[in-house]
Amino acid sequence: MRTLASMSFMHLLSAMSMAKPLLLLPQRASKSLARQQTAIMPLNTLGRKSTQASLSVKIAACNFRGAVMSIISNKKAFHDYFIEEQLEAGLVLEGWEVKAIRAGRVQIKESYVYFRDGAFYLIGCHITPLPEASTHVKPDVTRSRKLLMKQGEIEKWFGKVERAGLTVVPLNLHYSRGRIKADIGLAKGKKLHDKRESEKDKDWQREKQRIMKHSNNDS
């Protein structure tokens, strides 16, 4: 009986020793699987990042379609006037004028805005026609060009011009959704000392930028 018991006990130990490696196999497999999952995770993350990047490109493209791109600015207006209010207006242009403006052949430095016949007009804007455009038209380079504004905006701005003694000046020309637009401003003329103060402020801003640039280079 003791011999049989000893043999049974020995068989049990042998079975346990053989079973131990079998118990370790799932753990090793789980570690291997974990390493595979860890290796796969960056690829999944990369996929998500590439998807986000493609979405960002699409959003940027959509924004670009509605972007505002500058054509020309009237710096003299900001030098001579305090701009109280700004408004974007359309322009009634002829075909040769559109082509010339797209080619950069426009100047608004000496132009101004005038009210007549219930509408505002851009006066003194000089547009130089392209050579090929002058063969079939007789361009008037400084003709009065009607500004397209809503009726409520026209009445509001005309009232401020009449009551407050303000003037309307062109600030810039730009593209908005592929169309040529003008920003105009309700303006109050600067006195001589105001212009001097503006010049001092501009000089100080330039000096600050120079100092900051110099300090960044030193660091």
Residue bearing tokens 């082509």: 99
Mean pLDDT, residues 80-99 taken together:
94
pTM score, two decimals? 0.59
Q: Which residues contact 193 (CB under 8 A, 6 or more apart)?
A: none
Lowest mean pLDDT among 82-96, 105-119, 121-135: 121-135
Check pLDDT > 60 for residue 12. no
Under the banding of pLDDT at 50, 70 and 90, the label for residue 11 is: low
Domains of the chain and any CATH numbers: 68-191 (2.40.280.10)
Check pLDDT > 50 for residue 54. no
Q: Which residues contact 195 (CB under 8 A, 6 or more apart)?
A: 79, 80
| φ/ψ (deg, to 5) at 131 | -55, -40
Query: Would you call 219 helix, strand, or coil by DSSP?
Result: coil
Partners of 122 in the beta sheet? 113, 145
> Is the distance from CB of 173 to CB of 182 less than 8 angstroms?
yes
Higher pLDDT, 196 or 170: 170
Partners of 8 in the beta sheet? none
Query: Would you call 166 helix, strand, or coil by DSSP?
Result: coil
Lowest mean pLDDT among 63-77, 88-102, 178-192: 63-77
Provide the percentage of residues in the chain whose pLDDT is more than 90: 46
